[in-house]
């Protein structure tokens, strides 16, 4: 008989991924009771703490804005689960805040992703799962039991079924994101893929980006990345490939943070189609990461 598990979200930032996971895996789902005190502090409570004892507890909490509040809610949920004698705590964090500070860019800086992962571990997490972390090597700061899953497969399937790109080329915004472009290109039928390089016109000073080797003329260009934050990089890339003769511009990303006037930048870039996942709530979140996370949970929990 399959063991009943409890999937719990620590506060309001699971973006319904917890519900989708419970449905896919066919296991029990519990929502944490959540409220905010007048001074802004968070309050959470397990509705039936006696149900936690000797169970494997999966806590789903994405760490989008306000990041610090959602981080602390996650820590409260982990610590409380341990207090109530959970057998095992698995923290599922679809979007991991602070992951872009993965090294010291300037002397005196902390490595923010290291601080956060160590804190989540020390709070009582036995296993940790995230989606398209900025640099996968950052998971070494958690240690054994950390998993990074990619949403690029689901994004590629969505684009293939809903956009039906013609003569496509998949582009990464830089060499570091080439792994994402390769994955999407493979699922689209082993189509061409490349990464973009910035070039500055020495006379006008104008910056544009061009594929390193391939041409985009009369082709559907699919730009993929892990994060759209301010939208500047994607907007520049889209505008540049348009000037180079791209037929259509399609953008896919895992985490649509859309900070500040990002939406305005994307609109001005005349992108034909944008798709993101539900790690972060947005109007572009048309793909769920739950199936990819569920596969890892099946391995950990042996179900």
The residues assigned a catalytic role are: 198
Alpha-carbon separation of residue 45 from 80, 90, 264 (angstroms): 8, 18, 39
Q: Which long-range contacts (CB under 8 A, 24 or more apart) does 175-182 make?
A: 176/135, 177/224, 177/225, 177/226, 180/132, 180/150, 180/152, 180/224, 180/225, 180/226, 181/224
Of 53, 60, 56, nearest to 21 by C-alpha is 60
* In contact, 255 and 279? CB cutoff 8 Å: yes
Host H or E run for residue 210 = strand 207-211
First to last CA, the chain: 10
Q: What DSSP string runs through 237-271?
A: HHHHHHHTT-SEEEEEEEEE---TTHHHHHHHTT-
């Amino acid at each position: 008989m399959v063991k009943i598990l409890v999937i719990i979200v620590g506060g309001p930032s699971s973006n319904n991924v917890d519900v989708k996971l419970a449905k896919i895996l066919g296991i029990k789902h519990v929502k944490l009771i959540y409220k905010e005190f007048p001074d802004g502090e968070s309050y959470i409570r397990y509705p039936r703490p006696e149900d936690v004892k000797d169970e494997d507890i999966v806590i789903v909490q994405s760490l989008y804005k306000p990041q610090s509040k959602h981080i602390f809610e996650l820590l409260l949920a982990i610590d409380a689960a341990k207090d109530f004698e959970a057998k095992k705590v698995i923290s599922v964090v679809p979007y991991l805040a602070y992951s872009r500070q993965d090294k010291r860019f300037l002397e005196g800086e902390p490595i923010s992703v290291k601080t956060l992962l160590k804190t989540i571990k020390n709070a009582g997490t036995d296993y940790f799962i995230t989606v398209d972390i900025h640099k996968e090597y950052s998971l070494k700061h958690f240690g054994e039991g950390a998993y990074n899953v990619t949403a690029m497969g689901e994004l590629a399937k969505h684009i293939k079924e809903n956009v039906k790109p013609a003569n496509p080329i998949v582009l990464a915004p830089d060499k570091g994101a080439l792994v994402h472009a390769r994955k999407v290109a493979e699922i689209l039928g082993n189509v061409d893929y490349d990464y973009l390089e910035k070039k500055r016109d020495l006379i006008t000073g104008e910056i544009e980006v061009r594929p390193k080797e391939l041409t985009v003329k009369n082709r559907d260009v699919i730009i993929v990345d892990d994060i759209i934050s301010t939208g500047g990089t994607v907007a520049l890339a889209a505008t540049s490939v348009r000037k180079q003769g791209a037929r259509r511009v399609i953008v896919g990303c895992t985490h649509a943070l859309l900070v500040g006037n990002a939406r305005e930048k994307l609109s001005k870039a005349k992108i034909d189609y944008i798709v993101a996942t539900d790690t972060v709530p947005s109007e572009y979140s048309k793909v769920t990461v739950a199936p990819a996370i569920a596969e890892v949970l099946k391995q950990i929990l042996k179900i």
